[in-house]
């Protein structure tokens, strides 16, 4: 006895996928990036031990470049 094949009740759409992100899905990573960038560029509140002078010069150059 042959098995019956079932057809789909609704044909599949061939259009693009419509995905919508909530507002916070873009705002939270952007806010975290800005906060971390502010921490790096504002070393006045940082109380770190004396580190490698090359790293310090690199951060100073980056801060000068971004301040332009």
Instruction: Report pLDDT digits (tens) over 14-66.
Output: 666 778 889 889 999 999 999 888 888 876 655 655 666 777 788 888 888 88
Burial label, 38 (beta-carbon count in 10 A; 0-12, 13-18, 19+)? exposed
Q: Give the 3-state secondary structure of residue 52.
A: coil
pLDDT at 42: 74
Answering whether pTM is above 0.75, one says: no
Q: Which of 42, 50, 45 is nearest to 66 (CA)?
A: 42
């Amino acid at each position: 006895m042959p098995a019956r094949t079932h057809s789909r009740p609704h044909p599949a759409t061939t259009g693009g996928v419509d995905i919508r992100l909530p507002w916070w899905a873009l705002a939270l990573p952007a806010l975290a990036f800005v906060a971390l960038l502010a921490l790096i560029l504002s070393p006045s509140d940082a109380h770190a031990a004396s580190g490698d002078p090359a790293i310090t010069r690199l951060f100073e150059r980056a801060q000068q470049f971004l301040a332009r």
